[in-house]
Amino acid sequence: MEPSENRFVLKMRVYVEDTDLGGVVYHARYLHFFERARTEWLRDCGIGQKRMREEEGLIFVVTDMNVRFIKPAMMDDELLVSASLSSVGRARFRFEQGIVRKSDGVQIATADVGAAILHSKNYKPARIPAWMKTELERVD
Protein backbone atom coordinates (compact mmCIF):
# COMPACT_ATOMS: atom_id res chain seq x y z
CA MET A 1 0.00 0.00 0.00
CA GLU A 2 2.61 2.51 -1.05
CA PRO A 3 1.62 6.13 -1.65
CA SER A 4 0.62 6.71 -5.26
CA GLU A 5 -0.73 9.57 -7.33
CA ASN A 6 -4.37 8.77 -6.50
CA ARG A 7 -3.81 8.72 -2.74
CA PHE A 8 -3.71 11.63 -0.36
CA VAL A 9 -0.35 11.64 1.46
CA LEU A 10 0.45 13.50 4.66
CA LYS A 11 4.07 13.89 5.71
CA MET A 12 4.74 13.73 9.45
CA ARG A 13 7.63 13.17 11.81
CA VAL A 14 7.83 10.78 14.76
CA TYR A 15 8.40 12.66 18.03
CA VAL A 16 9.55 11.33 21.39
CA GLU A 17 5.95 11.52 22.64
CA ASP A 18 5.02 8.92 19.99
CA THR A 19 7.52 6.34 21.22
CA ASP A 20 8.08 3.85 24.01
CA LEU A 21 11.22 3.68 26.14
CA GLY A 22 13.16 2.08 23.28
CA GLY A 23 12.43 4.89 20.80
CA VAL A 24 10.00 2.70 18.83
CA VAL A 25 6.57 4.10 17.91
CA TYR A 26 4.01 2.84 20.42
CA HIS A 27 1.36 0.78 18.63
CA ALA A 28 -1.61 3.00 19.57
CA ARG A 29 0.08 6.08 18.07
CA TYR A 30 -0.37 4.66 14.57
CA LEU A 31 -4.11 5.21 15.03
CA HIS A 32 -3.37 8.93 15.57
CA PHE A 33 -1.29 9.04 12.40
CA PHE A 34 -4.05 7.36 10.38
CA GLU A 35 -6.67 9.72 11.86
CA ARG A 36 -4.67 12.82 10.96
CA ALA A 37 -4.27 11.65 7.37
CA ARG A 38 -8.01 10.91 7.00
CA THR A 39 -8.92 14.28 8.51
CA GLU A 40 -6.52 16.18 6.24
CA TRP A 41 -7.72 14.17 3.22
CA LEU A 42 -11.33 15.14 4.00
CA ARG A 43 -10.28 18.77 4.46
CA ASP A 44 -8.45 18.61 1.12
CA CYS A 45 -11.72 17.36 -0.44
CA GLY A 46 -13.53 20.41 0.94
CA ILE A 47 -15.13 18.50 3.81
CA GLY A 48 -14.34 20.23 7.10
CA GLN A 49 -15.55 18.23 10.08
CA LYS A 50 -16.17 21.27 12.28
CA ARG A 51 -18.32 22.91 9.58
CA MET A 52 -20.12 19.61 8.97
CA ARG A 53 -21.11 19.39 12.63
CA GLU A 54 -22.05 23.04 13.05
CA GLU A 55 -23.87 23.57 9.73
CA GLU A 56 -25.18 20.11 8.84
CA GLY A 57 -25.50 18.46 12.26
CA LEU A 58 -23.40 15.51 11.03
CA ILE A 59 -20.30 13.78 12.38
CA PHE A 60 -17.93 11.06 11.18
CA VAL A 61 -17.24 8.04 13.39
CA VAL A 62 -14.88 5.14 12.89
CA THR A 63 -16.86 1.90 12.95
CA ASP A 64 -14.05 -0.63 12.54
CA MET A 65 -10.36 -0.79 11.80
CA ASN A 66 -7.97 -3.56 10.85
CA VAL A 67 -4.32 -2.56 11.28
CA ARG A 68 -1.33 -4.58 10.14
CA PHE A 69 1.98 -3.64 11.74
CA ILE A 70 4.80 -4.56 9.36
CA LYS A 71 8.00 -2.83 10.51
CA PRO A 72 8.70 -0.46 13.40
CA ALA A 73 8.91 3.29 12.98
CA MET A 74 11.48 5.00 15.16
CA MET A 75 11.88 8.37 16.84
CA ASP A 76 12.71 11.10 14.30
CA ASP A 77 11.58 9.04 11.27
CA GLU A 78 9.78 11.04 8.62
CA LEU A 79 6.64 9.17 7.60
CA LEU A 80 4.31 9.36 4.61
CA VAL A 81 0.80 8.50 5.75
CA SER A 82 -1.64 7.83 2.92
CA ALA A 83 -5.42 7.73 2.78
CA SER A 84 -7.71 6.80 -0.07
CA LEU A 85 -11.36 5.99 -0.32
CA SER A 86 -12.04 2.38 -1.23
CA SER A 87 -15.85 2.44 -1.15
CA VAL A 88 -18.82 4.71 -0.42
CA GLY A 89 -22.27 3.54 0.61
CA ARG A 90 -25.37 5.47 1.64
CA ALA A 91 -24.03 6.28 5.10
CA ARG A 92 -20.68 4.45 5.24
CA PHE A 93 -17.16 4.79 3.86
CA ARG A 94 -14.14 2.50 3.67
CA PHE A 95 -10.60 3.84 3.59
CA GLU A 96 -7.33 2.15 2.71
CA GLN A 97 -4.38 3.63 4.52
CA GLY A 98 -0.66 3.06 4.69
CA ILE A 99 2.43 4.37 6.42
CA VAL A 100 5.78 4.38 4.63
CA ARG A 101 9.13 5.60 5.99
CA LYS A 102 10.21 8.40 3.65
CA SER A 103 13.97 7.76 3.83
CA ASP A 104 13.91 4.20 2.48
CA GLY A 105 10.34 3.56 1.28
CA VAL A 106 9.81 0.74 3.80
CA GLN A 107 6.16 -0.07 4.49
CA ILE A 108 5.54 0.41 8.22
CA ALA A 109 1.81 -0.32 8.59
CA THR A 110 -1.46 -0.60 6.68
CA ALA A 111 -5.06 -0.11 7.77
CA ASP A 112 -8.50 -0.85 6.43
CA VAL A 113 -10.88 1.61 8.10
CA GLY A 114 -14.66 1.76 8.15
CA ALA A 115 -16.44 5.02 8.94
CA ALA A 116 -20.02 6.22 9.05
CA ILE A 117 -21.88 9.50 9.18
CA LEU A 118 -24.20 10.09 12.14
CA HIS A 119 -26.57 12.85 13.20
CA SER A 120 -24.69 14.74 15.93
CA LYS A 121 -27.76 15.14 18.18
CA ASN A 122 -28.91 11.51 18.42
CA TYR A 123 -25.95 9.53 16.96
CA LYS A 124 -28.21 7.72 14.49
CA PRO A 125 -26.96 6.92 10.96
CA ALA A 126 -27.37 9.65 8.36
CA ARG A 127 -27.20 9.54 4.58
CA ILE A 128 -24.15 11.06 2.98
CA PRO A 129 -25.25 14.50 1.70
CA ALA A 130 -25.33 14.87 -2.09
CA TRP A 131 -22.73 17.68 -2.04
CA MET A 132 -20.34 15.42 -0.13
CA LYS A 133 -20.83 12.49 -2.50
CA THR A 134 -20.05 14.86 -5.38
CA GLU A 135 -16.81 15.98 -3.70
CA LEU A 136 -15.79 12.39 -2.91
CA GLU A 137 -16.49 11.18 -6.45
CA ARG A 138 -14.44 14.09 -7.81
CA VAL A 139 -11.30 12.86 -6.03
CA ASP A 140 -11.96 9.13 -6.44
Q: Of these residues, 18, 20, 76, 77, which one is catalytic? A: 20
CB atoms within 10 A of CB 37: 27
Measured between alpha carbons, how far is 95 from 102 in angstroms, rounded to an integer?
Answer: 21
Q: Looking at residue 2, what is its pLDDT?
A: 42
Model confidence pLDDT, tens digit, residues 84-106: 999 989 999 899 999 999 999 99
Closest by CA position to 38, among listed 106, 107, 115: 115
Least confident segment among 3-12, 18-27, 85-94 = 3-12
Model confidence pLDDT, tens digit, residues 33-66: 999 999 999 998 888 888 889 999 999 999 999 9
Domain 8-131 CATH superfamily: Hotdog Thioesterase (3.10.129.10)
By the 8 A CB rule, do 133 and 88 touch? yes
Strand arrangement, sheet containing 78-88: 8-13, 78-88, 92-101, 107-119, 58-69
Q: What SS3 class is residue 16? A: helix
Residue 89 half-sphere exposure toward CB, CA atoms < 13 A: 11
20 assigned to active site? yes
